Amino acid sequence: MPLNVAVGVGLMEFPFSGAAAYWRWVDLCEAGGVDSIWQTDRLVSPVPHLECMSAMAALAGRTRRIKFGVNVLSLAMRDAVLVARQCATIDFLSNGRLLPAFGIGSPLGPEWTALNLDPKTRGRKTDEGLEVIRRLWSEDRVDFTGVHYQLSGATIAPKPVQPDLPMWIGGSSEAAVRRTARFGTGWQAGPETPAQAVQMVTAIKKAAAELGRAIDDDHYGAGISYRFGGPDDPALVPLFDAYRTRTGREPRDYFAIGDADAIVARIAEYVAAGVSKFILRPAARGDDEIIAQTRRLIDEVLPRVAARWPKPHRRPPPAQAAE
């Protein structure tokens, strides 16, 4: 079955001068045929970040076509019942355009210290939270007894519009493989290279099969920072420095930099690894630069992606016999 390659865009920090510039960017993405918009999760930060669930709700009201999601929501830092209700409400009001994705949260995140949270409990709390969320989305009455959650006859309404609301999982540890195989309808890569991504895809498929489950081949994603230009562009210096400080990794190994062909070639490396859903983050700062980089993505990359990986044709429904 051919892969359905789709390209969305994402933000980590809030790079705009204000709300007006942000909405100008959102409108550009909506009109330009971008598949989806993604917001990085951060509860506390010394630099501006949009609160992800509030941003999803705002996007639901502003847009009509584009999908949106969080890459990825740190479930261990939140109450799962509230998250389940927020997701259901946003999906309901957007007529089924929410793309939920969950993770345990980076151990390097400032939230653990700032909010006095115990990072050692994040795996178990996330697993319990995922089960609670999944059941609240589909069941009328949920009883649950765990270490972190105890529910008695809990229910939420309205339910999500999507009858099987996606539950993508982030992370690259063995526990993330098991978590995706058990709960996930998809997997979203973080900093993984194509070589690392193919190992994850293979491991998840094997683990899911052992549990009697299967994850659609089209439900594996990756995030890529990109920039039209050269690697010696002075504008990249502060972005590279911030990336090294935040991750300890060399950004040149993870960014896609060059012309449209270079960016599409990077996408193709992931497609060969079994990944077909992409979040491309413009490596830029300032209103004009973000808009310019996004416009070039729309004008130059999206047509190349559509030509190289045409959308699979849906089979028409079988004709009914005349009575």
> Domain containing 96 — which CATH number?
3.20.20.30
- Whether 118 is in a domain gets the answer yes
pLDDT recorded at residue 246? 76
**Is 225 among the domain residues?**
yes
Q: Which residues contact 226 (CB under 8 A, 6 or more apart)?
A: 255, 256, 257, 263, 266, 280, 281, 282, 283, 293, 297
At 312, list the tokens.
């699979």
315 is a domain residue: no
Q: Which of 229, 170, 226, 236 is nearest to 200 (CA)?
A: 170
The pLDDT, as a whole number, for residue 321 is: 43
What is the model's pTM?
0.92
Domain assignment present for residue 316? The answer is no
Q: Is residue 322 part of a domain?
A: no
pLDDT at 2: 59
Number of structural domains, the chain? 1
Tell me the C-alpha distance between 108 and 177, whole Å: 20
Is the peptide bond between 282 and the residue preceding it cis, with omega within 30 degrees of 0?
A: no
Domain range for 24 is 6-308
DSSP code, position 95: T
The rounded distance, in Å, linking the Cα atoms of 31 and 46 is 32
Residue 278 placed within a domain: yes
Residue 26 lies inside a defined structural domain of this protein: yes
111: tokens are 């939230």
Q: Determine what percent of the chain is predicted with pLDDT higher than 70.
A: 96
Low-confidence stretches of the chain (pLDDT < 50) are: 1, 320-323
Residue with tokens 């178990």: 124
pLDDT in tens, 128-181: 999 999 999 999 999 999 999 999 999 999 999 998 899 999 999 999 999 999
- Please report whether residue 282 resides in a domain: yes
Residue pair 259/186 in contact (Cβ under 8 Å)? The answer is no
| pLDDT number for residue 264 | 98
Contact 186, 219 (CB under 8 A): yes
Give the separation between CA 278 and CA 9, rounded to whole angstroms.
8
pLDDT for the residue numbered 251: 81
